[in-house]
Amino acid sequence: AILSDQIAAGEVVERPASVVKELVENAIDAGSTKIDILLEEAGLKSIRIIDDGSGIEPDDVETAFKRHATSKISSREDLFKVATLGFRGEALPSIASIADVTMITSNGSDVGSEIHFRGGDLIAKENAEVRAGTDIVVTDLFFNTPARLKYLKTPQTELAKITDIVNRLSLSFPNIRFSLQHDGKELLRTSGRGDLLQVISNIYGVSNARKMVKISNSNVDFQIDGFVSLPEYTRANRNYISILINGRYVRDFQISKAIVEGYGSKLMVGRYPVAVLNIKMDPILVDVNVHPTKQEVRVSEIQSLNNLISETVFEELSGKNL
């Protein structure tokens, strides 16, 4: 195994949910319209992701597992306007260094490839049938990093973390048909018809979806669109807020707070809504290269954004009969 890959894995792959996140993001970046996620034992036994995306050409498959091999950005300028979810070229080598990974991939015309890594070592590479997309299976996660394995929580907690990330990705991409299966049981299925409200309904239930208010506004720098629930019905916590910046799911305490403020000031309560907020801005205003997992970002003009959000949430809710 290559030591630097294992060190990067320490940052990128904390738990099974990190593997799911990275692999599903790769499937999204590959232009997939359908992504199936199949888990066994909360991902500890196996994680399988099947997509119908672009696939990888035979000549590029081995390279894709090399550190900093990314097909997604090619210049320093690109780094400031990252449009894909991945760009660091770290996920595949990191995962392959701490697990057993088999990928079957094809771009739909050339002969396909099947490649097998274990603990960072290339075990086998051979031709495979032509298919449209990629099928990747990860087993024996953390088999060679026992400390990581010990640090994991209960299977229920690990599964909850996976569900959380798949939910957010489904909310971010209503045009993609997602399915999530655990030990043969279906946990989520979305239609891929591009209807955000329907995805909200798939995740939070029909009754919550019925109580959503549409949010839409813009100022000179930002455009915001999404849904916020009417307060009286929900028993949500902070986790029910999803924030997407230029299509990328992020965690941002300040933006969450702006939503809650717009919401709470109307009712003088501090309860949380179910909320999904899509924020669009010039990529130059946001730095996504803050942390390897890319969930933290830095936004310029954050105060102007937060004012827009809390005012819009407040006004849209005021317009409803509460």
Positions touching Mg ion (CB under 5 A) are: 26, 86, 91
User: How far apart (Å, rounded) are the C-alpha atoms in residues 185 and 181?
Assistant: 5
DSSP element (H, E) containing 64: helix 61-64
**88 touches ligand ADP (CB under 6 A):** yes
Q: Considering CB distances under 5 to 8 angstroms, the limit depending on partner class, which of Mg ion, ligand ADP, none binds residue 162?
A: none
The binder of ligand ADP chosen from 19, 64, 209, 288 (CB under 6 A): 64
**Helix, strand, coil % in the chain, rounded to nearest 5:** 40, 30, 35
**277 touches ligand ADP (CB under 6 A):** no
The binder of ligand ADP chosen from 18, 50, 52, 70 (CB under 6 A): 70
Size (the chain), residues: 322
Q: Considering CB distances under 5 to 8 angstroms, the limit depending on partner class, which of Mg ion, ligand ADP, none binds residue 52?
A: none
The binder of ligand ADP chosen from 9, 13, 19, 26 (CB under 6 A): 26
The binder of ligand ADP chosen from 37, 92, 228, 279 (CB under 6 A): 92
User: How far apart (Å, rounded) are the C-alpha atoms in residues 286 and 276?
Assistant: 19
**112 touches ligand ADP (CB under 6 A):** no
**16 touches ligand ADP (CB under 6 A):** no
User: How far apart (Å, rounded) are the C-alpha atoms in residues 313 and 170?
Assistant: 23
Binding mask 178-217 for ligand ADP (x = CB under 6 A): ----------------------------------------
Per DSSP, 192 falls in state -
Q: Considering CB distances under 5 to 8 angstroms, the limit depending on partner class, which of Mg ion, ligand ADP, none binds residue 177?
A: none
Spatial contact of 29 and 84, defined as CB atoms under 8 Å apart: yes
The one-letter amino acid code at 264 reads G
For ligand ADP, the closer of residues 59 and 147 by Cβ is 59
Nearest 5 degrees, angle CA 38-CA 40-CA 46? 80
Binding mask 33-52 for ligand ADP (x = CB under 6 A): ------------------x-
Contacting range for ligand ADP; rule: CB under 6 A; set: 82-90, 218-226, 287-295, 306-314 = 82-90
At 274, list the tokens: 């179910």
Nearest Cα neighbor of 82 from 223, 246, 224 is 246
* Torsion from C-alpha of 219, 168, 247, 70, nearest 10 degrees: 150
Residues that bind ligand ADP (CB under 6 A): 22, 26-27, 29-30, 51, 53-56, 64, 69-72, 86-92, 134
